[in-house]
Amino acid sequence: MKEKILKILSETENKLSSVKTLSEVEDVKAKTIGRKGSITALSRDMGKLSKEERPEAGKALNMAKTRITELINGTKLKLEETNTCSTSDIDVTLPGRMWPTGKKHPITQTIDDCVEIFRRIGFVVAEGPDIETVYHCFDALNTPEHHPSRDESDTFYFKDGRLLRTQTSTVQIRVMEKEDPPIRIIAPGPCFRPDTPDASHSANFHQIEGLYIDKDVSLADLKSTLLYFAKELLGEDVKIRFRPHFFPFTEPSIEYDFSCTACKGKGCGLCKYSGWLEISGAGMVDPNVLKSVGYDPETWTGFAWGMGIERIAMIRHSINDIRYFYDNDLRFLNQF
């Protein structure tokens, strides 16, 4: 019995010294101390031995089991540490695991693209707070006391009199208060109005404001800036047009349209058969606004414009309902 045990022990040592995978180690274990293993079989044979032979054989078997267990554990540890696994354990034909990656929201993408376009002609990004004073949102922007935009039905007010800005035009004032002309800024950001959500309205939307102040600035400069932007964003063929309008902070004021991207101006469902897509408002900065920030309107002139970011994104991607942007439905968002 002793010889048999010693033989198994040396064979096991030999095998374990050359194994390369954990499954080979498990195999050695099964063939020695496992239920059908050689050592286990010898234990069962103990009954066949004489009373005198049994203690010694039992001792030898126990020692062998302990030694083999130690050897197996040591070998496993070594394999795990060196992380050795044979190529047969790796199925190189299996497809890799795909980790879903996040991406920018289409509104953020549109903001980034618009900023990039204006940056190329020297505009820098400016910021202002979402929670604003009545002064920055209306008074300094030359908005008369009883202008409807100040109504509670059009503006969210806090109890302390402050408000959620209804337009990024507030940033014009914030920047001019801090800096001397010349000024060339764009200000993207959220705006808030108590609108009931529908296909084209949201109580929380985004605008980009632009402001250019320098000497001898004219309406032609405004037009060429907006035309440059439209072409960069939508392609060389796009046309723009100005329509007279009224805003308290610009004089003259205009609304501007881009020619319809879907029908190239011929008339279709997107442009309501007019050939034009309304974008937003703009104009020459009113002298009263310049005065409110301490600029001399005799020296400084400028233009300003706003644009709805959702509107731009809807035109670019042919989206017909603004609410898609806020539903956070991945089936929608993954398309951008």
Residue whose CB is less far from ligand DAH, 109 or 149: 149
Residue whose CB is less far from ligand DAH, 169 or 292: 169
Q: Does 225 bind ligand DAH (CB under 6 A)?
A: no
For CA atoms 178, 181, 186, 192, give the dihedral sign: positive
Q: Does 283 bind ligand DAH (CB under 6 A)?
A: yes
Figure out which of the listed residues 282, 289, 293, 322 binds ligand DAH, where binding follows CB under 6 A. Answer: 282
Please give the backbone phi and psi of residue 274, each rounded to the nearest 5 degrees, phi first.
Answer: -100, -20
How far apart are alpha carbons 201 and 308 in whole angstroms? 11
Let me know: does 190 contact 306? Beta carbons within 8 Å.
no
Of the ranges 128-136, 247-255, 269-277, 312-320, which one interacts with ligand DAH (CB under 6 A)?
A: 247-255
Closest CA to 206 of 140, 112, 116: 112
Q: Does 143 bind ligand DAH (CB under 6 A)?
A: no
Figure out which of the listed residues 142, 169, 225, 259 binds ligand DAH, where binding follows CB under 6 A. Answer: 169
Which of 5-31 are b and which e, b meaning 16 or more Cβ less than 10 Å from the residue's Cβ? beebbeebeebbeebeebebbeebbeb
The packing angle between helices 53-82 and 22-32, to 10°, is 170
The H or E element that residue 178 is part of is helix 170-178
Closest CA to 259 of 280, 281, 234: 234
How far apart are alpha carbons 291 and 289 in whole angstroms? 5
Residue whose CB is less far from ligand DAH, 12 or 253: 253
Q: Does 247 bind ligand DAH (CB under 6 A)?
A: yes
Figure out which of the listed residues 306, 309, 314, 322 binds ligand DAH, where binding follows CB under 6 A. Answer: 306
Of the ranges 18-26, 52-60, 299-307, 320-328, which one interacts with ligand DAH (CB under 6 A)?
A: 299-307
- 3-class SS at 308? strand
Q: Does 305 bind ligand DAH (CB under 6 A)?
A: yes
Residue whose CB is less far from ligand DAH, 12 or 169: 169
Place of tokens 């233009």: 303
Q: Does 209 bind ligand DAH (CB under 6 A)?
A: yes
Q: Is 314 exposed, middle or buried (0-12, 13-18, 19+ CB in 10 A)?
A: buried
Figure out which of the listed residues 281, 289, 313, 314 binds ligand DAH, where binding follows CB under 6 A. Answer: 281
How far apart are alpha carbons 268 and 168 in whole angstroms? 31
Q: How many residues at the interface with ligand DAH, by CB under 6 A?
A: 13
What Rg, from alpha-carbon coordinates, does the chain have?
A: 39
Eight-state DSSP code of residue 198 = B
- 3-class SS at 171? helix
Of the ranges 15-23, 98-106, 226-234, 304-312, which one interacts with ligand DAH (CB under 6 A)?
A: 304-312
Q: Does 250 bind ligand DAH (CB under 6 A)?
A: yes
CB of 206 to ligand DAH, least distance (A): 11
- Contact letters for ligand DAH, residues 26-65 (x by CB under 6 A): ----------------------------------------
Of the ranges 110-118, 228-236, 244-252, 324-332, which one interacts with ligand DAH (CB under 6 A)?
A: 244-252
- Contact letters for ligand DAH, residues 88-117 (x by CB under 6 A): ------------------------------
Let me know: does 107 contact 309? Beta carbons within 8 Å.
yes
Residue whose CB is less far from ligand DAH, 110 or 250: 250
Residue whose CB is less far from ligand DAH, 106 or 306: 306
Place of tokens 């108590």: 194
Binding site for ligand DAH (CB under 6 A): 167, 169, 209, 247, 249-250, 280-283, 304-306
